[in-house]
């Protein structure tokens, strides 16, 4: 019988791993992908929906080509438990599957218990995160459209690490872009739990000064302790209260729930430790973890680009391991994160990460990568092509 690989989650990490295991094993390994959503909706570019230059439909794609072109068996269901000893997993629909190797890429889930007011009835329907692209992205855009000119949009940013380090600042820029065109008396208030802008700080701050001065107000070290959803108010650790017309809470994050429940989140009870040569869990043999759910290596962002790179290192390693070979001892990964600061102008940060055998981790190659010198429409074209490429690479 062919070796069986099961992949949990058809997002950036999981779909890429499923596709590449089929490609690199010449279809000699059976791959089953479990994903509850009918469609893949991209978080990258979803801030443009808030800025008004894209619709959610532009970012919504089918995952069917993974089955039709690559022979991945897709099951539309949700994994409820994993039994690492028996190498089986259970699905919400009642089915049970067994595996030789399991790949888990469930993304993040939110630590709502850190913001007790958000656990009250109705709070999560009124105060949106829009940190998983889809219905919430559309609903947040509707809240911005309904807000009268002269109103305040406030966003809270959790302490790093969280999904997409530059994402909140791109979002602030997108909302400011929309206000500058349609509601020029309105304000964007950034309440950042971090002491400074986490990614591309000097570039974002220059854009805000040059283009959105008088619109964006950046407040670092606003350590959020609670939310009063009814009053649309964010409350800091020090008791400062900030009321907004539209309050957008990006909550603290941890590995997706299935990783937590199956004991894979062995770093601070929050993220999943992995061996960077194969992305095999440091907790459970024969289980690999990818993407946002892992405890990252130094200076490694939680990004779609990185999830794609994890997936390729893992896919190659899984094909090797199932063929009795050792994985490549020197993996090398890249990352680029583009951020739109208007409908066209973009800034980027890029890096290269190489395996260091002595430290057993991935380290940034000195002198590799860097950031844009300034925001430009040329980088806007690169960013759109980056998106087209990664969608094709992920979904086939």
**Distance between alpha carbon 123 and the CA centroid of its chain, in Å?**
23
The piece of 111-119, 162-170, 199-207, 314-322 that touches ligand FAD (CB under 6 A) is 162-170
C-alpha to C-alpha distances, 101 to 106, 245, 278, 286, nearest whole angstrom: 16, 49, 12, 5
Among 279, 275, 239, 272, residue whose Cα is nearest residue 258: 272
The piece of 111-119, 159-167, 202-210, 240-248 that touches ligand FAD (CB under 6 A) is 159-167
233-236 vs 224-228, strand pairing mode: antiparallel
Distance CA 96, CA 186 (A): 53
Residue 155 makes contact with ligand FAD by CB under 6 A: no
The piece of 30-38, 65-73, 232-240, 345-353 that touches ligand FAD (CB under 6 A) is 30-38
Of 49, 140, 144, 164, the one binding ligand FAD by CB under 6 A: 164
Residue 271 makes contact with ligand FAD by CB under 6 A: no
Of 25, 47, 156, 186, the one binding ligand FAD by CB under 6 A: 47
Of 19, 87, 270, 302, the one binding ligand FAD by CB under 6 A: 302
SS3 of 327, please?
A: coil
Torsions phi, psi of 33, nearest 5? -110, 130
**Least distance (Å) between residue 357 CB and ligand FAD:** 26
Distance CA 155, CA 242 (A): 10
Residue 396 makes contact with ligand FAD by CB under 6 A: no
Q: Under the phi-then-psi rule, with left for phi > 0, alpha for psi from -120 to 50, and beta for the rest, what region is 386?
A: alpha
30 vs 109, which CB is nearer to ligand FAD?
Answer: 109
Of 4, 20, 22, 46, the one binding ligand FAD by CB under 6 A: 46
Among 253, 287, 257, 259, residue whose Cα is nearest residue 272: 259
Distance CA 53, CA 266 (A): 41
Residue 303 makes contact with ligand FAD by CB under 6 A: yes
Residue 346 makes contact with ligand FAD by CB under 6 A: no
Among 30, 10, 12, residue whose Cα is nearest residue 318: 30
Residue 36 makes contact with ligand FAD by CB under 6 A: yes
Distance CA 8, CA 107 (A): 10
Among 178, 150, 166, 147, residue whose Cα is nearest residue 250: 166
Stretch 174-213: interaction string toward ligand FAD, x if CB under 6 A? ----------------------------------------
Distance CA 85, CA 77 (A): 22
Distance CA 129, CA 360 (A): 35
Of 3, 18, 22, 44, the one binding ligand FAD by CB under 6 A: 44
**Residues for the chain: how many in total?**
396
Q: How many CB atoms lie within 10 A of CB 185?
A: 11
Token reading at 183: 């509601």
Residue 13 makes contact with ligand FAD by CB under 6 A: yes
Instruction: Specify which residues 88 forms β-bridges with.
Output: 83, 98
Residue 331 makes contact with ligand FAD by CB under 6 A: no
Chain residue at closest Cβ approach to ligand FAD: 11
236 vs 351, which CB is nearer to ligand FAD?
Answer: 351
126 vs 350, which CB is nearer to ligand FAD?
Answer: 350
236 vs 301, which CB is nearer to ligand FAD?
Answer: 301
Residue 51 makes contact with ligand FAD by CB under 6 A: no
Torsions phi, psi of 113, nearest 5? -60, -20
Residue 34 makes contact with ligand FAD by CB under 6 A: yes
Give the position of tokens 């009053």.
231
The piece of 53-61, 161-169, 239-247, 270-278 that touches ligand FAD (CB under 6 A) is 161-169
The piece of 31-39, 213-221, 273-281, 374-382 that touches ligand FAD (CB under 6 A) is 31-39
Of 24, 78, 112, 382, the one binding ligand FAD by CB under 6 A: 78
Residue 315 makes contact with ligand FAD by CB under 6 A: no
**Least distance (Å) between residue 162 CB and ligand FAD:** 9
Reported as type and span, the H/E element at residue 385 is helix 377-395
> Interface residues with ligand FAD (CB under 6 A)?
8-14, 34-37, 43-44, 46-47, 78-79, 105-107, 131, 163-164, 167, 256, 258, 291-293, 302-305, 307, 337-338
């Amino acid at each position: 019988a062919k070796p069986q690989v099961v992949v949990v989650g058809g997002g950036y990490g999981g779909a890429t791993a499923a596709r590449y295991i089929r490609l690199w094993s010449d279809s000699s390994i059976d791959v089953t992908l479990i994903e509850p959503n009918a469609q893949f909706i991209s978080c990258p570019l979803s801030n443009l929906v808030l800025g008004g230059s894209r619709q959610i439909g532009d970012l919504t794609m089918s995952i069917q080509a993974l089955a039709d072109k690559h022979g991945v068996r897709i099951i539309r269901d949700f994994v409820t438990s994993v039994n690492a000893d028996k190498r089986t997993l259970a699905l919400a629909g009642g089915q049970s599957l067994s595996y030789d190797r399991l790949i888990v890429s469930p993304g993040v889930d939110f630590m709502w218990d850190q913001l007790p007011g958000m656990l009250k009835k109705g709070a999560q329907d009124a105060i949106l995160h829009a940190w998983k692209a889809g219905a919430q992205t559309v609903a947040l855009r509707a809240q911005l459209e309904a807000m009268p000119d002269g109103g305040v949009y406030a966003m809270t940013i959790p302490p790093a690490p969280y999904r997409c380090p530059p994402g909140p600042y791109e979002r602030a820029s997108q909302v400011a872009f929309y206000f500058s065109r349609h509601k020029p008396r309105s304000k964007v208030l950034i309440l950042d739990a971090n002491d400074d802008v986490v990614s591309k700080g000097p570039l974002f701050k220059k854009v805000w000064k040059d283009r959105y001065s008088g619109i964006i107000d950046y407040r670092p070290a606003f350590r959020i302790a609670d939310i009063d959803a009814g009053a649309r108010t964010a409350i800091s650790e020090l008791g400062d209260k900030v009321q907004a017309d539209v309050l957008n809470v990006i909550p603290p994050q941890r590995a997706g729930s299935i990783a937590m429940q199956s004991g894979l989140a062995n770093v601070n009870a929050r993220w999943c430790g992995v061996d960077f040569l194969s992305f095999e869990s440091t907790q459970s043999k024969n289980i690999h973890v990818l993407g946002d759910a892992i405890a990252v290596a130094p200076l490694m962002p939680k990004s779609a680009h990185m999830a794609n790179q994890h997936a390729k290192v893992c896919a190659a390693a899984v094909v090797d391991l199932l063929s009795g070979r050792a994985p490549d001892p020197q993996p090398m990964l890249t990352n680029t994160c583009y951020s739109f600061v208007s409908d066209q102008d973009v800034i980027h940060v890029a890096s290269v990460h190489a395996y260091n055998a002595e430290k057993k981790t991935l380290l940034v190659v000195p002198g590799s990568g860097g950031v844009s010198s300034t925001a430009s429409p040329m980088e806007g074209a690169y960013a759109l092509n980056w998106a087209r490429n990664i969608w094709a690479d992920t979904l086939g």
